[in-house]
Amino acid sequence: MTIALIADIHGNLAALEAMLDTLRTEPPDEIVCLGDVAATGPQPHEVLRRLQELGCPMVMGNADAELLGLSPPSPVTDEDARRIMDISRWCADQLDNADRAFLASFQPTVEITLGEERRLLCCHGSPRSYDDIINATTPDDELDGMIAGHDATIIAGGHTHMRMLRAYRGREIVNPGSVGLAYQFFPDGSVRVPPWAEFALLTQSDTGAMSVDFRRVSYDRDATVRALNEHEMPHAAWWAADWH
């Protein structure tokens, strides 16, 4: 059994299509989307329609909730935050009633049985909240509060846009990275958005062995930049400046 874990598409249709093209060559048994699919990208409507066609389980992310007005927008602390708020408002305006109904159908968590002894729990930030941040250095005692009441063998989440596999009290936590807005960090503190879509394949063999295969697939950055400009997304040049 193989499950493709995807997250954080952020309205980047070119990245989503490149990732799906790769999956066609070795189709998984299931695809699960871990949220943040439409906000802060040039094609929120098109990405939502494509995901609806897939019919895969969908987890509610913090940015999804913001588009629906279910959670307050991120605080405006500087000029960059103001620009992101402008983009998010623009994205919300691109959605029609069908898009909003689809977003509203997303679930806080999705659970999948992997066998008699294993279960996969899918979330966005953590099972407790889509705003929680789990990374490689999050102390176990902090994780205890985020995961309390859940005993799944494997927990999958997104939100950080950073790939991760870590052990936690006899269980595993996996983050597939970001399909549409992957981050690449450099020693000088700068951050770039490379033109690749990230996802992960979770596989359970016939013998019960589990593996996680992190994947990256290149996509057409120029197509995304064209979409930014053709759709007249606010602050398009600023948003695209770090995409290389």
Whole-number percent of the chain with pLDDT over 90: 82
**Higher pLDDT, residue 74 or 82:** 82
Domain chopping of the chain, boundaries = 2-240
pTM of the prediction? Answer: 0.95
Contacts of 139 (CB under 8 A, 6+ apart): none
Distance in angstroms (rounded) separating the CA atoms of residues 244 and 239: 12
Identify the pLDDT of residue 129. Answer: 97
Identify the pLDDT of residue 185. Answer: 86
Distance in angstroms (rounded) separating the CA atoms of residues 48 and 204: 29
Tell me which amino acid residue 153 is. T
Above 90 in pLDDT, residue 190?
A: no
Tell me which amino acid residue 49 is. R
**Cα separation values, 243 from 180, 184, 218, 222, 236, Å:** 11, 10, 13, 10, 11
Where does the pLDDT of residue 73 fall: very low under 50, low under 70, confident under 90, or very high at 90 and above? low
Task: Give residue-wise pLDDT tens across range 93-141.
Answer: 999 999 999 999 999 999 999 877 889 999 999 999 999 999 999 999 9
Task: Give residue-wise pLDDT tens across range 148-163.
Answer: 999 999 999 999 999 9
Q: Which of 44-48, 55-59, 207-211 has the lowest mean pLDDT?
A: 207-211
Has domain 2-240 been given CATH number 3.60.21.10? Answer: yes
